[in-house]
């Protein structure tokens, strides 16, 4: 039976400090966030989404982003990324010395309104100014497409709608574009079809898969994405997360689980799984609950048993 060759190397972008923590109700201190980011860079992640410069009225947990970015121990070679919805966010990200800014749009009109309070077309107009400023500052620019596999408000989302937003983000000059399953509803074949469609608009090598694990499909969807050549994925340590504007959506796929899968497939990541398990246990202790990572918890239990 012919099996497609999988990528030999994958870039894993750790989004726990941003996507993971943004939905936490209790305020987490900047010190804990800083320690988390530093543990993740020490574990070997070369791209960490560490901050979000959005309205603190909309996402209060991210209000410490400036403090976090000021105090992390920046490791050479690591890109520290920040979400920016508009020029106000962009200016804060530049002042905080973000290495990459992330503009975030949606393939669903309804989600665009709920998440950033404007239509898809209006969001692209806001992002145009941000994109130009990013180029002037020689900052890396990433674009994110939410609800690429389904929307909590409008239901089905077609691959052509995803491709349309990808085209617009490409035209703004994005260096990388994330195809996001905000509510974790996508399934393996659908994921392959969407990537095959958007790869007609933007180089596959610069597309990433951002999977939430609400329906337990994230690892299968990552494997399906690998089969069609995707080699960048997002994950959250301890499976942290959820989106404040996607009720019921759970966290991103856990970094520990993705690393266990990738390393088992012989795919290089440059990341030390044991150190990520430690980071997952650290943040879970602070949140007062067990990590949502099957591999992380299994490794921690094996250690506790002295095996």
Q: What residue ranges bind ligand HMG (CB under 6 A)?
A: 19, 22, 52-55, 57-59, 83, 85-86, 88-89, 104, 115-117, 144, 146, 180, 182, 210, 212, 243-245
Min dist CB 74 to ligand HMG, Å, is 23
Out of ligand HMG, Mg ion, none, what residue 54 binds, judged by CB under 5 to 8 A for its kind, is ligand HMG
Residue closer to ligand HMG, measured from CB, 86 or 284: 86
Min dist CB 95 to ligand HMG, Å, is 12
Out of Mg ion, ligand HMG, none, what residue 282 binds, judged by CB under 5 to 8 A for its kind, is none
With helix as H, strand as E and coil as C, how does the chain read? CCCCCCCCECEEEECHHHHHHHHCCCCCCHHHHHHHHHHHHHHCCCEEEEEECCCCCCCHHHHHHHHHHHHCCCCCCCEEEEECCCHHHHHHHHHCCCCEEEEEEECCHHHHHHHHCCCHHHHHHHHHHHHHHHHHCCCEEEEEEECCCCECCCECCCHHHHHHHHHHHHHCCCCEEEEEECCCCCCHHHHHHHHHHHCCCCCHHHEEEEEECCCCCHHHHHHHHHHCCCCEEEEEHHHCCCECCECCCCCECEHHHHHHHHHHCCCECCCCHHHHHHHHHHHHHHHCCCCCCHHHHHHHHHHHCCC
Task: Please give the residue ranges that form the binding site for Mg ion (CB under 5 A).
Answer: 19
Residue closer to ligand HMG, measured from CB, 16 or 281: 16
Out of Mg ion, ligand HMG, none, what residue 151 binds, judged by CB under 5 to 8 A for its kind, is none
Out of Mg ion, ligand HMG, none, what residue 167 binds, judged by CB under 5 to 8 A for its kind, is none
Out of ligand HMG, Mg ion, none, what residue 98 binds, judged by CB under 5 to 8 A for its kind, is none
The pair of three-digit structure tokens given for residue 32, joined into one six-digit string: 């804990």
Min dist CB 91 to ligand HMG, Å, is 8
Out of ligand HMG, Mg ion, none, what residue 65 binds, judged by CB under 5 to 8 A for its kind, is none
Min dist CB 120 to Mg ion, Å, is 17
The count of residues in the chain is 307
Residue 286: how many CA atoms within 13 Å on its side-chain side? 20
Active site residues: 243
Min dist CB 1 to Mg ion, Å, is 35
Min dist CB 155 to Mg ion, Å, is 19
Angle, helix 120-136 to helix 109-116, in steps of 10 degrees = 60
The pair of three-digit structure tokens given for residue 75, joined into one six-digit string: 């490791």
Residue with the shortest CB distance to Mg ion: 19
Residue closer to Mg ion, measured from CB, 39 or 210: 210
Residue 36: how many CA atoms within 13 Å on its side-chain side? 31
**Backbone phi and psi for residue 98, each to the nearest 5 degrees, phi listed first:** -70, 145
Residue closer to ligand HMG, measured from CB, 229 or 244: 244
Residue closer to Mg ion, measured from CB, 241 or 296: 241
Residue closer to Mg ion, measured from CB, 19 or 201: 19
């Amino acid at each position: 039976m012919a099996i497609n060759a999988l990528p030999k190397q994958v870039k894993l972008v750790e989004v726990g400090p941003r996507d993971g923590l943004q939905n936490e109700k209790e305020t987490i201190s900047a010190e804990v966030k800083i320690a988390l980011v530093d543990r993740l860079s020490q574990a070997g992640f070369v791209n960490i989404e560490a901050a979000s410069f959005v309205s603190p009225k909309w996402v209060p947990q991210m209000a410490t982003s400036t403090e976090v970015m000021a105090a992390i121990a920046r490791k050479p070679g690591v890109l520290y990324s920040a979400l920016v919805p508009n020029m106000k966010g962009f200016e804060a990200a530049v002042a905080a010395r973000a290495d990459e800014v992330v503009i975030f749009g949606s393939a669903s009109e309804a989600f665009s309104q709920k998440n950033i309070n404007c239509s898809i077309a209006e969001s692209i107009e806001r992002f145009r100014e941000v994109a130009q400023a990013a180029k002037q500052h020689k900052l890396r620019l990433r674009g994110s497409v939410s609800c690429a596999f389904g929307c909590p408000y409008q239901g089905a989302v077609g691959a052509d709608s995803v491709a349309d937003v990808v085209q617009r983000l490409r035209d703004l000059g994005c260096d990388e574009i994330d195809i996001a399953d905000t509510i974790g509803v996508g399934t393996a074949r659908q994921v392959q079809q969407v990537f095959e469609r958007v790869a007609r608009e933007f180089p596959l090598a610069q597309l990433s898969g951002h999977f939430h694990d609400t329906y337990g499909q994230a690892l299968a969807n990552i494997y399906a994405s690998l089969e069609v050549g995707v080699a960048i994925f997002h994950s959250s340590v301890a499976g942290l997360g959820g989106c404040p504007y996607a009720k019921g959506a759970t966290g991103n796929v856990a970094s520990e689980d993705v690393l266990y899968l990738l390393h088992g497939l012989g795919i290089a990541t440059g990341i030390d799984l044991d150190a990520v398990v430690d980071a997952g246990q650290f943040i879970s202790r602070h949140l007062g609950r067990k990590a949502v990572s099957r591999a992380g918890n299994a490794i921690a239990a094996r250690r506790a048993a002295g095996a």
